[in-house]
Structure 1
């Protein structure tokens, strides 16, 4: 529960890419429909995997999961992670102020990959980190209100 990806999320991303590539007529648009769009999707998937997710999951682990399993939240670690995460969220805010979605004007796998841990961030009572940023909040509302995500989240 240190907030680092130890394989599960990396494997999930690889599986998602495989399925979307295999069923490109259905899922291809989520990967981008041009070389440039695919590059933007890949770029934001890397940002999510290497920067966003470690910080977000670290906060969630400290605030939500540790207490669930009898541990105590390390407030200084939460503060440190939150300060770093806010800098990342500011970059997202700036980007999303000019783009409807991360890879441009279309919802992609890059957006969808943010759903699980951002949803847990809200469950941990830390949703204001997203909601306090106008463009980021609007993006979150768009992707988290997709019927497919609502179906998954309700399981």
Structure 2
């Protein structure tokens, strides 16, 4: 279990990243294991320091591959999670938006593949000189096969099968 000092150090990095305009990628930061959801940060800036807002659009979800293997299941799940998270948060993003996913494990079952992903999303907005940054830590398992895609956010572990442990069918 991470210590309070570790949590404070991570929070300080998030605060400093928001102030400097630095947007961390999933490979540059590792969230504490207990992190879930978003962490908003607000910094006061002068009104003329707000960058122009960007109109972010919804992303298309990827098509399932016609021939599943460990590699194609991993690539599909990573692309699906990236588009899914993007679409979930694009309305809040105004000035910066980035989603990163990373495949951590792929386990073959009798009926498909369980793909475990982690990563992050960072988005920001600026209004009347108040610059806000939100970080979302991703930890998701997918069950994928030729007919079904099931998503389970924040599973117990890398081998938790979303098909048998309360995942949500996102494509059938």
TM category (shorter chain) comes to under 0.3
Q: Rg: which structure is higher?
A: 2
User: Whose helix proportion is higher, 1 or 2?
Assistant: 1
Could you tell me the TM-score, scaled by structure 2's length? 0.25
User: Which fold has the larger relative contact order, with Cα–Cα distance below 8 Å and residues 6 or more apart in sequence?
Assistant: 1
User: Whose strand proportion is higher, 1 or 2?
Assistant: 2
